[in-house]
Amino acid sequence: MDFETLEKLCFRKMTLEVEPVIDDTTLRDGVQMPGLAVTPEEAAEIAGLLDEVGVERIELHHYQPSDKKAAKLIQNMGLKARIAGWCRAVKEDVDDAIQCDFKEVGISHPVSHVHFNAKWPEKSEEELLSRIIDVVEYAAKDHGLRVFVHGEDSTRAQWEFEKKFINAVAEAGAECYRVCDTVGVGLSDPSAPLPIGIPAKVRAIKRETKIRNIEIHAHDDFGNAVENSMAAIRAASGIWDKIYVSTTFLGIGERAGNAETEKIIMNLYLHYNVKKYEGKTQKLKALADLIGKATGYVVPPNKAIVGDYAFAHESGIHTHGVLNNPLTYEPYPPELVGNIRRLTIGKHSGKAIIKHKIEELTGIAPTEEQIRTVINRVKEIYENGRKASLKENEFLDILKETGIASKSA
């Protein structure tokens, strides 16, 4: 079955009345994950591939010398994606971003009293509002920067204060407000109330504030980051012109990480007919491999879309189905995301995959007796404690032992 037919059968049933914009923060929030780091040259290579897969805004750190070098390399690449710096709500951070030649910044400030009481117990709400207004005006009005304001811990904020906060930063010159589900407690349920309900938050910000654009930044502490991001997009449809979606590739980041860039792209492309990703998804696997190599992060083999085993089949039922029609156990061709199909021999392998592998490796059509002999030998190996799938050279050795393949093969 060709992919065009597959699309008509399985995908592109939904539409959106909002433009989603991927704002990738792999090179900021992502590399804050404990134990990860990238060189400036690796960061530039990652940024180049992020641009190629359809990311339209890339958020960067810019405080360490290596970060500054990376920012300069990336800015000199002439990418289509906008490049943004990340700042705390202090003028010194904005000054640093200006010195690094950023034309836009994200300014992060808490909006929940959980953070206020822990960080500034002596300050009033008005003092905190004055603090963020001063910095936003400094960046936007005094220096002409495009400004996003990140409402840290939005999903635990008191709405009356957050509403006042959003209107204040909008008047100060911010163009976008980022809803930060900082500890992943947000709910995608359309009936969930403020502050925890993501759809309710998206609707309320449009209805009760003056901010021009909105963004969702979801953490994965409950495993809901992708769903909460998609819920924000769905809620924005028909009421916002665009919604920024803050993600990291592979979901890397603080604690349990963030919504995965690759998952959001594939959901938007295949389920919601967002055509701007067409022809770009084939590099998703290459980007995952690059990030793994550059950072030392081990990509889980069963990671959706980009894991080495995302299209791997071993059990008899699955391999038999895939050999007859890949659509039985694959939602789309692995080539669409730059991945490959892997048919492996293991404890649960059946006759179909054994026969297929014999023919693939030797070019010989085996007899029923030969197939049974190989199946019995494979079973014996796993009964003796083997766990991992057999490598091709190991399976070929079995074929040599049983006389199916020549010793010189």
Q: pTM of the predicted model, to two decimals?
A: 0.92
Q: For 220, which DSSP code?
A: -
- Whether pLDDT at 198 is above 80: yes
Average pLDDT over the chain reads 93
| Cβ 343 vs Cβ 322: under 8 Å | yes
> C-alpha angle 103/202/116, rounded to 5°?
75
Q: What is the pLDDT of residue 407?
A: 57
The SS3 of residue 402 is coil
Distance CA 113, CA 116 (A): 5
DSSP 328: G
Tens digit of each residue's pLDDT (9 = 90 or more) over 346-394: 888 888 888 888 888 888 898 998 888 888 888 889 888 888 888 888 8
Separation in Å, CA 42 to CA 54, 190, 208, 270: 19, 41, 43, 30
Q: What is the pLDDT at residue 6?
A: 66
Domains of the chain: 18-295 (3.20.20.70), 309-409 (4.10.430.20)
pLDDT of residue 3 exceeding 80, the answer is no
| Residues 30/253, Cβ–Cβ less than 8 Å | yes
The answer to whether residues 225 and 257 touch, using CB atoms and an 8 Å cutoff, is yes
Neighbours of 384 (CB within 10 A): 7
Q: pLDDT digit string (tens) for 277-305?
A: 999 999 999 999 999 999 999 999 999 99
Q: Which of 140, 139, 142, 113 is nearest to 128 (CA)?
A: 113
* 12 pLDDT above the threshold of 80: no
63-89 pLDDT, tens digit each: 999 999 999 999 999 999 999 999 999
Residue 388: per-residue pLDDT: 85
- 3-22 core/surface letters (b: 16 or more CB in 10 A; e: else): eeebeeeebeeeebebbbbb
The residue whose two tokens read 């080539």 is 335
pLDDT at 409: 54
pLDDT over 90 (residue 265): yes
